[in-house]
């Protein structure tokens, strides 16, 4: 079934999440994603659900939960923002990768795709490795691009873990260090790296990273 989002606004209290999820379970719903947004003494809890047959009945029952103020049905993040291209590395290189990625994403989104681009400029081996490992926990993360001039050591280990544990492909700029040896693809031009990242995850593209895996361009 299609994922559907609901936002529950409530006065925060102990046991609130338990009571809400109990109602969802009684309606046969499977929770695919959940995120909380604290707001002083209130909280907004966002769910993405599947297998709900009667949303009106679910919303009615959720409104009966103690301290719940409002329940809204929304479109899921996936249907709005779609797949996420993550770009991590040095500021100048990141900017150029994003230029290519945003330009290419625009081309596919016009044709009905939903692809978004997220970035963070970082320096330092520990910070980079930490950010790379966190990509595996990011909602809707589809591919990672490493944009820098030198990466290795703990960064290389983090890339291996991300690919093996989460199956997220990694594109790297052609740089010094061992990270280029463990990525799916190495691209010299940063703009082209952004373009190829989007083409990898786009359903409306014919590019298959499996056919060029391990190569340098």
Residue 187 neighbours by CB distance under 10 Å: 25
Is the pLDDT reported for residue 10 higher than 70? yes
Query: By residue range, what is the domain housing residue 32?
Result: 4-78
Residue 35 maps to a domain:
yes
Is the pLDDT reported for residue 172 higher than 80? yes
Q: Which residue has the higher pLDDT, 209 or 183?
A: 183
Q: Are residues 123 and 168 both part of a single domain?
A: yes
Write down the mean pLDDT value for the chain: 92
Name the DSSP class of 183. Answer: S
pTM for the whole structure: 0.85
pLDDT band at 91 (very low <50, low <70, confident <90, very high): confident
pLDDT band at 119 (very low <50, low <70, confident <90, very high): very high
User: Which backbone phi and psi does 188 adopt, to 5 degrees?
Assistant: -75, -45
pLDDT band at 212 (very low <50, low <70, confident <90, very high): confident
pLDDT band at 1 (very low <50, low <70, confident <90, very high): low
Is the pLDDT reported for residue 15 higher than 70? yes
Q: Are residues 187 and 102 both part of a single domain?
A: yes
- For residues 162-168, average pLDDT: 92
Q: Which of 21, 56, 78 is the last residue of a domain?
A: 78
Q: Are residues 123 and 198 both part of a single domain?
A: yes
Computed on alpha carbons and rounded to an integer, the radius of gyration of the chain in Å comes to 20
- For residues 115-132, average pLDDT: 94
What stretches of 122-208 adopt beta strand conformation (E)? 141-147, 170-173, 185-187
% residues pLDDT > 70 (the chain): 100
Q: Are residues 156 and 195 both part of a single domain?
A: yes
What stretches of the chain adopt beta strand conformation (E)? 4-11, 30-39, 42-50, 68-75, 83-89, 115-121, 141-147, 170-173, 185-187
Q: Residue 186: its pLDDT value, please?
A: 95
């Amino acid at each position: 079934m299609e994922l559907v989002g609901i936002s529950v606004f409530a006065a925060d209290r102990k046991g609130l999440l338990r009571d809400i999820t109990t109602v969802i379970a009684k309606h046969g719903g499977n929770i695919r994603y959940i995120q909380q947004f604290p707001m002083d003494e209130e909280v907004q809890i966002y769910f993405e659900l599947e297998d709900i047959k009667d949303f009106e009945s679910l919303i009615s029952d959720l409104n009966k939960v103690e301290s719940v103020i409002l329940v809204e049905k929304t479109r899921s993040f996936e249907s709005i923002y779609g797949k996420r291209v993550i770009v991590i590395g040095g500021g100048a290189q990141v900017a150029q990768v994003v230029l290519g990625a945003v330009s290419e994403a625009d081309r596919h989104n016009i044709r009905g795709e939903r692809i978004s681009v997220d970035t963070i400029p970082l320096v330092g081996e520990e910070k980079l490795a930490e950010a790379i490992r966190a990509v595996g926990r990011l909602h809707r993360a589809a591919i990672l691009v490493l944009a820098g001039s030198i990466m290795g050591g703990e960064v290389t280990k983090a890339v291996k873990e991300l690919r093996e544990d989460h199956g997220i492909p990694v594109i790297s700029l052609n740089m010094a260090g061992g990270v280029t040896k463990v990525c799916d693809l190495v691209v010299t031009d940063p703009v082209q790296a952004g373009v190829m990242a989007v083409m990898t995850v786009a359903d409306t593209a014919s590019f298959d990273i499996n056919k060029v895996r391990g190569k340098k361009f």
